């Protein structure tokens, strides 16, 4: 098969000093259609030079340059001729290493300020005389290194923006990457286009072409297997791999009996019928439900589902490698396992005390690898952020229903049925869930929120229907907004919509006589109830 090396792109490297905004910087740069990558703060100047970036950005971070063990930079990076933009802590390091003065103020300054632009810096080209900016810093520059001059001041800070245009070194005390610096993106654009001379060559079209070439090169004529969940990441991975290697890809879709109503139909229709992807559908509902019988502990449920998934997946692979008469076929072996790993999962998190990003770990990933099968991994979207994966999905022809669907947990409806999971309780929850989703969609709210779903509580209460007293189940509605699932708040959706959902559930779902609305934020609550 003909393969070619992907062309070299413009690229910006971001040295991560532990700021909670490091990934935001990377995304902003990519929004400028320039490829960006996050590397550890202690990457050496030689390694950096070998990666041939057009420019470097030193992120902010929680440390003071005077802290014991404060993350340091290889000072050589300031003299290898690559443009550098230091943001906040990044600026402090630059000033500190190049002979300027930095003081530890002992207080962190947060909040809005106004930057007065001076000396016509290239960084602020086209931005007028003053800008609203957002500060969050502890140290402050008190004296400029040799060769530097002021490019902007704020009320509290004479060195809010500084530069040595000759050496292409720039520093900002404030954060251009956050939304509270409304024209920050233009500052970053000036840096990447005018100062670093980057081309706008990071587009989804070029990414897809190159990712396909990379996959072809990696797998040759071998077969690849992918666990397709129907979620965004595995769906886009499937579509991309199918474009790259066609029938060398087989997807396995496991029905664990804990899916939403008709989910298995949707997945088979989209991937099997529309995309003509080789899809093995495994209905393992019985296996999962019998293992879950009598189990009420949430962690126990998750463990059972995770372990069972691996077993079912392994069995399915063994099955695929057999001929019709059951004998194994040598060329049917799968050497490669594909996964929809995303960029935020692969960025090595910098562990610095006080770094909020450090405490946040993805605590779930049900359906881990069948390790003993010794697969080689194929991870074609591992360079992408979530919003980029969605763009890629649309470009590959996936429907909006898949690309913008709300997250759905691996253990499925089991974590939304408090207490024992039984076929009856699953059926109640499925009906309620279908009503929630269809009303949210009809009212144009489905795509505006992070998640909207029903939870079946192990609480029965008294109701009245006609002349009869009832004693039946309670459904809780959970509708939340969130950026990444780490924190969340309940959505103030219109009362009319709540009323419609509630009426429909109590009228149409047999076994439910009460609907309540969850008004807890995360923290302290979680999004799922288990």
Give the active site residues.
Answer: 88, 175, 177
Cα dist from 67 to 97, 260, 335, 352, 378, whole Å: 15, 51, 48, 11, 41
Q: List CB contacts of 360: < 8 A, sequence separation 6 or more.
A: 486
- Taking the least distance from each CB to ligand XMP, the nearer of 335 and 364 is 364
Q: What is the dihedral of CA 26, 31, 33, 34, to 10 degrees?
A: -20
Please identify, using beta-carbon distances, which residue of 116 and 364 lies nearer to ligand XMP.
364
Residues that bind ligand XMP (CB under 6 A): 302, 364, 366, 407, 409-411, 451, 485, 522, 526-528
Q: CB of residue 449 vs ligand XMP: minimum separation in angstroms?
A: 11
**Least CB distance to ligand XMP at residue 490 (A):** 12
Closest to ligand XMP by CB, 47 vs 484, is 484
Shorter beta-carbon distance to ligand XMP: residue 315 or 481: 481
The number of beta carbons lying within 10 Å of the beta carbon of residue 197 is: 11
Phi, psi at residue 94, to the nearest 5°? -65, -50
- Separation CA 201–CA 29 (nearest Å): 12
Quick one: 450 or 517, whose CB is closer to ligand XMP? 450
CA distance 164 to 417: 61
The secondary structure of residue 273, as a DSSP letter, is I
By beta-carbon proximity to ligand XMP, the closer residue of 148 and 313 is 313
Cβ(9)–Cβ(205) below 8 Å:
no
Question: Would you say 15 and 41 are in contact if contact means Cβ atoms under 8 Å apart?
Answer: yes
Shortest separation between residue 361's beta carbon and ligand XMP, angstroms: 11
What is the nearest approach in angstroms of ligand XMP to the Cβ of residue 416?
A: 9
Least separation, in Å, of the C-beta of 482 and ligand XMP? 7
Tally Cβ neighbours within 10 Å of residue 256.
Answer: 26
Which residues partner with 104 through β-bridges?
Answer: 139
- The CA distance from 368 to 371, in Å, is 8
Q: Please, which residue, 203 or 307, has the CB nearer to ligand XMP?
A: 307
Query: β-strand 512-517 against 468-481: which pairing, if any?
Result: parallel
Write down the least CB distance from residue 21 to ligand XMP, Å: 21
Angstrom distance (rounded) from CA 184 to CA 134 = 9
Closest CA to 337 of 213, 257, 218: 218
Closest Cα partner for 157 from 136, 172, 140, 177?
Answer: 140
Shortest distance, CB of residue 408 to ligand XMP, whole angstroms? 7
Beta strands 451-465 and 489-490, pairing class? unpaired
User: How far apart are the C-alpha atoms of 122 and 126, rounded to whole Å?
Assistant: 9
Strand partners, 55: 12
């Amino acid at each position: 098969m003909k393969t070619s090396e992907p062309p070299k792109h413009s690229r910006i490297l971001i040295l991560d000093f532990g700021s909670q905004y490091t990934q935001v910087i990377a995304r902003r740069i990519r929004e400028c259609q320039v490829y960006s990558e996050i590397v550890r703060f202690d990457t050496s100047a030689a390694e950096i030079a070998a990666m041939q970036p057009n420019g470097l950005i030193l992120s902010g971070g929680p440390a003071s340059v005077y802290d014991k063990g404060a993350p340091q930079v290889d000072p050589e990076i300031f003299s290898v001729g690559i443009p550098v933009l230091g943001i906040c802590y990044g600026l402090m390091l630059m000033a500190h290493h190049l002979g300027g003065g930095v003081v530890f103020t002992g207080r962190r300054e947060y909040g809005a300020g106004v930057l007065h632009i001076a000396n016509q810096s290239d960084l602020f080209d086209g931005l007028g005389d003053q800008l609203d900016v957002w500060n969050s810093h502890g140290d402050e520059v008190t004296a400029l290194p040799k060769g530097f001059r002021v490019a902007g001041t704020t009320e509290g800070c004479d060195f809010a923006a500084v530069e040595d245009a000759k050496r292409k070194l720039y520093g900002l005390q404030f954060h251009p990457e956050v939304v509270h610096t409304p024209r920050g993106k233009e500052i970053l654009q000036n840096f990447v286009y005018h100062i670093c001379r980057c081309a706008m060559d990071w587009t989804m079209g070029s990414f897809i072409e190159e990712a396909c070439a990379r996959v072809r090169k990696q797998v040759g004529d071998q077969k690849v297997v992918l666990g397709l969940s129907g979620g965004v990441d595995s769906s886009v991975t499937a579509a991309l791999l199918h474009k790259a290697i066609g029938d060398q890809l087989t997807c396995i879709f496991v029905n664990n009996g804990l899916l939403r109503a008709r989910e298995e139909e949707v997945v088979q229709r989209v991937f099997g019928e529309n995309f003509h992807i080789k899809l093995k559908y495994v209905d393992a509902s019985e296996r999962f439900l019998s293992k879950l019988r009598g189990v009420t502990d949430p962690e126990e449920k998750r463990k059972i589902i995770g372990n069972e998934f691996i077993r079912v997946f392994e069995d399915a692979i063994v099955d695929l490698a057999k001929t019709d008469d059951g004998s194994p076929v040598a060329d049917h072996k799968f050497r490669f396992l594909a996964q929809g790993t995303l960029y935020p999962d692969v960025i090595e998190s910098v562990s610095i005390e006080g770094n909020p990003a450090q405490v946040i770990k993805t605590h779930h990933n049900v359906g881990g690898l069948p390790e003993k099968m010794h697969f080689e991994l194929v991870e074609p979207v591992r360079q992408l952020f979530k919003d980029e994966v969605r763009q890629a999905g649309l470009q590959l022809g996936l429907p909006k229903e898949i690309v913008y669907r709300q997250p759905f947990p691996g253990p499925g409806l089991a974590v939304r049925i408090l207490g024992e999971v039984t076929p009856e309780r699953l059926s109640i929850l499925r009906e309620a869930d279908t009503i929630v989703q269809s009303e949210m969609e009809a009212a144009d709210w489905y795509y505006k929120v992070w998640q909207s779903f029903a939870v079946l509580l192990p609480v029965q209460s008294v109701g009245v229907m006609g002349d009869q007293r009832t004693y039946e189940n309670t459904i809780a509605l959970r509708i939340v907004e969130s950026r990444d699932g780490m924190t969340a708040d309940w959505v103030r959706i219109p009362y009319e919509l709540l009323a419609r959902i509630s009426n429909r559930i109590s009228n149409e779902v047999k076994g439910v006589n009460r609907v309540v609305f969850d008004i807890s934020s995360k923290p302290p609550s979680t999004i799922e109830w288990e």
